[in-house]
């Protein structure tokens, strides 16, 4: 199970990556979570990315690619993973190609959610959890960055016929079910394991 979840801010990448990773017993690698921990811990990495993150901009391809390369290097070549938040530029997609050499098939699932629902979810998380980049103005910038830098990545995988599109505008358990159905032909040997715990 080598799976990438792509989608705009608030589309449910983190929620779904966590559910699928747990069901398949593979690591969930979230670049956003790793960076937020680094910022909270005051590490050098945190200092380097704090400003870009608070403005809703992407951190540099070099930083993020090194970070993902490090995480994948810690995994055995046959251990699968669910990646959430990477790649989000064409340069990162090329870097992932290199990292995937001898790691088997990669499935890419795109979560589709209308903009008004994204804005509603992020505003409600802002109130509930106080995540700084859920501020209305920063959310606008994150959406603009997604359109500018990440939509080309979706096209890149669509052209390669690796892209699976899933409706993310449904209750979380139904989205998980659709992801597992979408990847079933790709990862059929995992299907029983996925279907079990998620019910």
Question: Interface residues with ligand AP5 (CB under 6 A)?
Answer: 7, 9-15, 31-32, 35, 52-53, 56-59, 64, 85-86, 88, 92, 121, 125, 133, 142, 171-172, 175
Q: Report residue 196 as tokens.
A: 């079990």
Task: Name residues whose C-beta falls within 8 Å of residue 194's C-beta, 6 or more positions apart in sequence.
Answer: 20, 23, 24, 180
Least distance to ligand AP5, CB of residue 55, Å: 8
Q: Report residue 178 as tokens.
A: 């659709």
Q: What is the Cα–Cα distance from 182 to 104, expressed in whole angstroms?
A: 18
Please count the other Cβ atoms lying within 10 Å of the Cβ belonging to residue 9.
23
Question: Which residue in the list 71, 88, 121, 178 is annotated as catalytic?
Answer: 88
Say whether 13 is catalytic.
yes
Say whether 158 is catalytic.
no
Least distance to ligand AP5, CB of residue 57, Å: 6
Question: Which residue in the list 125, 140, 148, 160 is annotated as catalytic?
Answer: 125
Could you tell me the sign of the dihedral formed by the alpha carbons of 100, 103, 107, 109, in that order? negative
Q: Report residue 48 as tokens.
A: 């380097």
* Shortest-Cβ-distance residue relative to ligand AP5: 32
Q: What is the Cα–Cα distance from 93 to 116, expressed in whole angstroms?
A: 28
Least distance to ligand AP5, CB of residue 196, Å: 21
**With respect to ligand AP5, which residue has the nearer C-beta, 175 or 183?**
175
**With respect to ligand AP5, which residue has the nearer C-beta, 15 or 180?**
15
Question: Which residue in the list 19, 71, 121, 142 is annotated as catalytic?
Answer: 142
Q: What is the Cα–Cα distance from 157 to 143, expressed in whole angstroms?
A: 20
Q: What is the Cα–Cα distance from 148 to 182, expressed in whole angstroms?
A: 26
Q: Are 31 and 14 in contact (CB under 8 A)?
A: no
**With respect to ligand AP5, which residue has the nearer C-beta, 1 or 68?**
68
Say whether 88 is catalytic.
yes
Say whether 142 is catalytic.
yes
**With respect to ligand AP5, which residue has the nearer C-beta, 66 or 185?**
66
Question: Which residue in the list 131, 140, 148, 160 is annotated as catalytic?
Answer: 131
Q: Looking at the annotation, which residues are catalytic?
A: 13, 88, 125, 131, 142
């Amino acid at each position: 199970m080598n799976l990438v979840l792509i989608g705009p801010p608030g589309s449910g990448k983190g929620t779904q990556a966590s559910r699928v990773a747990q069901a398949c017993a593979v690591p969930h690698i979230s670049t956003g979570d790793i960076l937020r921990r680094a910022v909270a811990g005051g590490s050098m990495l945190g200092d380097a990315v704090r400003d870009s993150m608070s403005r809703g901009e992407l951190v540099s391809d070099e930083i993020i690619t090194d970070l993902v390369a490090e995480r994948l290097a810690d995994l055995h070549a046959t251990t699968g993973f669910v990646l959430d938040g990477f790649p989000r530029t064409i340069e990162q997609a090329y870097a992932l190609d290199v990292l995937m050499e001898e790691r088997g098939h990669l499935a890419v699932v795109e979560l589709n959610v209308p903009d008004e629902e994204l804005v509603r979810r992020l505003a409600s998380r802002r109130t509930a959890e106080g995540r700084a980049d859920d501020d209305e103005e920063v959310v606008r910038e994150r959406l603009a960055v997604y359109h500018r830098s990440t939509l080309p990545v979706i096209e890149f995988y669509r052209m390669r016929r690796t892209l699976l599109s899933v409706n993310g505008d449904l209750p979380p358990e139904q989205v998980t079910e659709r992801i597992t159905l979408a990847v079933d032909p790709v990862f059929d040997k995992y299907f029983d394991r996925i279907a079990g715990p998620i019910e």
